Structure 1
């Protein structure tokens, strides 16, 4: 396998620890409005509404909407399912919690690993996150990318082929010269079907130690590593 010409990263789970970050930021809100609710379980339940919300856009049942907007919608949906009327919660407080996805910290290996990988290849995002969300997150956690690509560029959410192919086209690369780096087998499988190279990075604590829901999609990926620092060694030893 030849080396790729650029790396495109999934973000939520692969780069940032969304579950811990959402749980920490939701804790005070939950203590006030939903005492006794486990913040980690709340984060899981919110995340479980992520794919259904995007599928409404992917299927064409509704127009494309930015992920920031979907986060707010699914937050309101989750609260209403729990019997919490959002009319009693200030709009600013709801929006601040919805924007918790903009304030997520990376896994410990990411800052040094990403910096080293960036010396080898251009590094870009290939995320369902919108540009404003990613800019805010990057300013919060200090990560640097050569470009922010993904859903807002393609106007389509992963795992549609358009999401991957539009990112390759934006870089003026053939799909086989772009490598998706992700901890999700389903994401990698969709990228491979579009002709991209694939690099799996293991994140066993993404779901708090629980089994990942997409294990059935696992394949023999072109590249594989335990974290980004190991991925640097994999590429440099090739």
Structure 2
């Protein structure tokens, strides 16, 4: 199959998942993208650019639901912390890191699936900074900053519209800053730019399909859809590392 067609199809699937659950673009597409791109760094850069485009569409449409005072401490922490792993990415064993990430995602999914009714993460500054640190490390190393942020927002926000708006705004700004950091480290190449142009059509199509599904997911089962997808993502990453 043609490389550009594969990227287009991957973007449909990744954008559909992102729009339906609020995250997962990087998790889905990075199970295959490192095998299609010249380097792992270029794969994370392309993933970040496409994920940013997916989130931007939603963030603009749902901007009225964003509460900036609950977002900025976490976002600023993420921006600072994510620069560190991006700088060291060329020196790291990405296979080992991906296996560790897979195990962590599976454990997180199991824990929240069974104990979510007892879990409430208050919107305190310390919690926001802590989530920002964890999300920054995962975003910088893997291009997968979503799970920590998702678990925080789905617990702290009042409904799925606020949850979606907060997540997507966080991802837009975060991916923009990480793209600049990756460009500085030489990962934003002409190959990334060409592949982005082929993938953006898939982003638009997948986002439209995901929006339809999102609007029809009952509120009481929404968080379980998210937790289940985190676990599935962990299994995929663990066995494709």
Task: Check whether TM > 0.5.
Answer: no
- Structure with more strand by fraction: 1
Compare the two structures and name the one with the higher helix fraction. Answer: 2
* TM superposition score normalised by structure 2: 0.30
Instruction: Answer with 1 or 2: which has the greater Rg.
Output: 1
